[in-house]
Amino acid sequence: MPAKVRNAILAFLFVILLASPLVLRDEYVRFVLNNVAVNIILVMALNFILGFTGQVFLGTVAFFAVGCYSSALLTTKLGLTFWQAVPPTILITAALAFILGLPTLKVKGFYLALMSTGFIVVVGDVLKNWSSLTNGVWGVSGIPRPELFGRVIETNIGFYYFSIALAALLAILAILIEDSRFGRAFKVVRDDELAGEVVGIDSLKIKLLAFVMCGVYTGIAGSLFSSFQQFVSPEIYTFDYNSLFMCMLVVGGLGSVPGSVLGASLLTGLTELLRFMREKYLTLYAIIILVILIYQPGGLVALLGQAFAGIGGRRLARAEQARKAR
């Protein structure tokens, strides 16, 4: 997809997201929109590993759990503000991603997926059983909301605009990384790791960079989520939750920043509509993914890209006709 089309789609999606709470005035819908903002950041985090470098890592939700609990404990036990807790939370999740990446990235495919699944289990057990620190299954409550310009962000709509603005900045950062030499190296490692090493790309370092960026983004998402909910508990950080992120990425478009935004937005809303199905909604998502992989492997963002390209082509044709008419 051309960069101009990609950037236009990204801008279009965020304009819709910014306008949504003005049209959808129900408080519950605005609550869900806050989850959309967090999920956008989480899917972009997964996109660094799975989309940009092609590593089948299934443990993103564990990084997210560590980010949530780190921010929650730093604010409730040490008395830090939201803003004071964010930098150490990012450092913790990024360092964990780096440490975990060193041994796990020496394996590939099924073995990497298996090891990362084990990581989810380990983190979940720690959160449940280290009661003196995490309060076990009872979770951590009383997490403060952030302050902005001297005022606490208390309303759903206020927190949403704060979160979606941060998500937009992180999307721009992801685009800048994608267009940099690091982004090009990511894609070389994904498409042909051996060829990348032949031309001097250190595949291990590039994969580690993708892991660290995933850690940075999940740390930010964890800080936002725990602060918005003002409560964290271990039962939500499951493999099912991680599977939902993967569905969002595939449906939106693997390796695409606008695809991450689109997939997270659509499936977060759809998940709420299908809440009556409980865990069975993942079966429906599996069917949707199969259809997309067969008929539209570029994800829904590719269809949007074709539409934008068509609009741009028609405008160019009209401009050319007008020029000739003169």
The residue segments making up the domain with residue 90 are 9-237
**Worst-scoring range by mean pLDDT, 198-207, 217-226, 249-258?**
198-207
Domains: count for the chain: 1
Is 312 within the bounds of a domain?
no
Task: Give the model's pLDDT for residue 63.
Answer: 92
Share of the chain above pLDDT 90, in %: 41
Is 258 within the bounds of a domain?
no
Q: Which of 215, 92, 91, 77 is nearest to 144 (CA)?
A: 77
Is 204 within the bounds of a domain?
yes
Is 294 within the bounds of a domain?
no
Q: Residue 300 pLDDT more than 90?
A: no
Task: Give the model's pLDDT for residue 319.
Answer: 53
Q: What is the mean pLDDT of residues 241-253?
A: 87
Task: Give the model's pLDDT for residue 65.
Answer: 93
pTM over cut 0.85: yes
Is 99 within the bounds of a domain?
yes
Q: Which residue has the higher pLDDT, 216 or 53?
A: 216
Q: Residue 126 pLDDT more than 60?
A: yes
Is 280 within the bounds of a domain?
no
Q: Which residue has the higher pLDDT, 169 or 113?
A: 169
DSSP-derived secondary structure letter, 256: -
CA distance 20 to 169: 18
Task: Give the model's pLDDT for residue 73.
Answer: 94
What radius of gyration, in Å, describes the C-alpha atoms of the chain?
20
Is 223 within the bounds of a domain?
yes
Q: Residue 320 pLDDT more than 60?
A: no
Q: Residue 85 pLDDT more than 60?
A: yes
| Residue 29 and residue 183 in contact, taking contact as beta carbons nearer than 8 Å | no
Q: What is the mean pLDDT of the chain?
A: 86
Is 69 within the bounds of a domain?
yes
Share of the chain above pLDDT 70, in %: 92
Q: In the structure, what pLDDT confidence band is assigned to residue 72 with cuts at 50, 70 and 90?
A: very high
